[in-house]
Amino acid sequence: MHLRTTSALTSDEVARVLDLAEAAATADGAHPLSEHVVLHLRHGDPHALHLLAEDASGDLLGYAHLDLGDPADGPAAELAVSPTARRQGVGGALIDALVARADQEPGRLRLWAHGSDAAAGHLAAAHGFVRVRRLWQMRRSLYAPLDPVVLPEGVALRPFDPQRDADAWLALNARAFQALPDQGGWTHADLDRRMAEPWFDPAGFLLAHDGADRLVGFHWTKVHRHGHGHGGTADGHHHDPIGEVYVVGVDPDERGAGLGRALTLAGLHHLRGRGLASALLFVDADNTGAIGLYRSLGFAPWDVDTLFRR
């Protein structure tokens, strides 16, 4: 096995990495790479390093993505190992290489493991990482009854207009997620990348506005056509399409009026109107308020992603 590190992948290397990730997803039941990583694979990222484990013939055995773009929290990594190369030291070698490279950067290395049985989680624990965050995946049937949408007085809904609403939405997103920079720190480039994805549909991106057309909340839905790995990457299986409560945000000044519940319901009604049978969402395991809301709307825990820190 040979390990090499590069700051840029060729189009052929990107295709090989994505194929490996799909094979790992088929074996594990959860996609090993988040939407964030897949988007950066497809579009490039000046703050990322790519670690490739290859055999003597050049076949890809494993891959690790190292994100060096967060000076506050430090480097973050995700990895995938081919199912045919498991228990051969590939994952351990990738983690050792990640640790060695991350030690040159400020902060302690973070490592995501997607799925409750993810091999990356077992490797992380064996290499001295500790669990610092859990992200639940919750699901509900869309065949079950849905409450009607009751918006606060003076608030109406309309679909997102990419030409008209981008700046206002980014500002609202930043306000709504001040404590969660992974979401609240999105830029125009982050928004543009997602709008360029084949799943993007402005009709399912619902904006709440007051009488002065000031945005006060939103529910961005998503439809996964052939799979439902974390954040929108396919998990390797050809499932029926499934909807996602992708992002729900409410202006801090408008909280407590029931807008978050109304927006969530509006998105679920939209997804059911698309003929979908079920919906999923992701939520921090310690966000008891949001989990209580989602349970009241019929969602139940399904799987978990885990963030480890060295």
pLDDT in tens, 250-303: 999 998 899 999 999 999 999 999 999 999 999 999 999 999 999 999 999 999
Q: Are 62 and 90 in contact (CB under 8 A)?
A: yes
DSSP reduced 3-state for 116: coil
Task: Give residue 226's pLDDT.
Answer: 59
Walk me through the domains of the chain, giving residue ranges and CATH numbers: 2-128 (3.40.630.30), 138-303 (3.40.630.30)
How would residue 230 be classed by pLDDT, with cut points 50, 70 and 90? very low
Mean of all residue pLDDT scores within the chain: 92
**73 to each of 41, 109, 113, 123, 185, how far by Cα in Å?**
21, 9, 17, 21, 14
- Pairing label, strands 76-81, 110-114: parallel
Q: Can you tell me the mean pLDDT for 132-156?
A: 96
Task: Give residue 41's pLDDT.
Answer: 94
- As a whole number of angstroms, the distance between CA 224 and CA 239 comes to 9
Nearest to 180 by CA among 284, 107, 261: 284
**225 to each of 139, 141, 144, how far by Cα in Å?**
16, 17, 21
How would residue 242 be classed by pLDDT, with cut points 50, 70 and 90? very high
In tens, the pLDDT along 55-108 reads 999 999 999 999 998 888 899 999 999 999 999 999 999 999 999 999 888 778
Least confident range from 49-63, 184-198, 221-235: namely 221-235
Phi first, then psi: give them for residue 114, nearest 5 degrees: -100, 120
List of residues 6+ apart from 70 with CB closer than 8 A: 76, 107
In tens, the pLDDT along 187-211 reads 999 999 999 999 999 999 999 999 8
